[in-house]
Amino acid sequence: MPRLKVELQKISPDSLKALSKILVTGSVLDKGQIAADFNGKVDLKAFDSKRPTAYTTARGSTVHFILPGRPIFRGEGKITNGRFSMQFIVPKDISYGGNLGRISAYIWNDQIDGSGYKDNIAVDGTAKGLVDHRGPKIQIGFKNQNFMDGDLLAPDPVMEVTLTDEQSGINIAGDIGHKITLILDNNPSTKRNITDYFQYNVGSYFSGKLEYPLTDIKTGFHSAEIKAWDNSNNSSTQTVHFTITPQNELIVQRLYPYPNPFEDATTLSFEINQPAQISLKIYTLSGRLIAELPVYDANAGFNTMRWDGHDQDGDEISNGVYLFKFQASAEKLSFQKIGKFIKMK
């Protein structure tokens, strides 16, 4: 099928001033008419002005060329009945004086896609009114894991970082000193620029997420520090700690019931280094099985299992000491531990 055309009908204000909030509205066109039956998504990107530069060769000659403008926003929005509207905040880190800024839009759904752009946009000046002295909020986790600081991780984890700044938005211009960076084990030589991995949440200009694979991390204890900037050039840092475990081991740690002793119910919490099926059985001290919880599919990281203090017949157990058998299994790996519950009411 032929691709559709995107028309950016309104950019307000019509120039990209530092710290200004830009409103972009657009339409999806099919043969020159609004495609009112089109519902899908739009990937909107805004770029600083193109930059003329020069390169001197080894022979002393000079080559002039144009560098693309740095990205200042990239986000995803929804299209309803062929129309969309998105906002973003222009960072301080712009070229100030160019007139070759650009905003592009790529649209798609399950049947068809399309694109459009507007260029020759002025990039100059600073808007008034935005006062922000706080850096962005940073949350660090790992994909497919209920992560808590200090958790165990399987090899090759994927770090998930959520960045939020409700006043200024997140700076992705990548100017010197204002990149989103990762430092491992407090070692400056490991510093990595991960700005390009960031993507705003759908319909948002102040919050988004990045995913970054840690494929070259050895087993053992590590730390990871994330530093990010908002569009007003305020920075924040956040550090987490974790332990990379061998792939061929199933490791469970911090296996604790709480409260213990308990009156009515208790919760067993634990950390595990990879997804596993968990079996929990409760016995009297003489070895008689009195309760068995449904098999629990645990994610890597922190997990909890609640026991209501009743036996298999639904009766509340008597005061006393009970044994629990905790078993975890993942493919050909297994882990088992015996512990105690104390009922005291």
pLDDT for residue 117: 95
Neighbour-count burial for 187-205, b at 16+ CB within 10 Å, e otherwise:
eeeeeeebbebbebeeebb
pLDDT for residue 61: 80
Give 35-45 pLDDT, tens digit per residue: 999 999 999 99
Three-class DSSP category at 250 = coil
Note whether 206 and 172 are within 8 A (CB). no
Model-wide pTM > 0.75: yes
pLDDT for residue 173: 87
Token code pair at residue 228: 């990010």
Note whether 265 and 254 are within 8 A (CB). no
pLDDT for residue 130: 87
Mean pLDDT by 10 residues, the chain (345 residues): 86 93 96 94 93 77 80 94 96 86 95 94 88 94 89 91 96 85 96 95 95 92 97 96 90 93 95 93 94 93 94 93 95 92 91
Give how far the C-alpha of residue 129 lies from the chain's centroid of Cα atoms, to the nearest Å.
Answer: 30
All domains of the chain in start order, with CATH: 4-126 (2.60.40.1930), 137-244 (2.60.40.10), 252-343 (2.60.40.4070)
Length of the chain: 345
**Gap between the Cα atoms of 20 and 229, Å rounded:** 17
Note whether 168 and 221 are within 8 A (CB). no
Mean pLDDT of the chain: 92
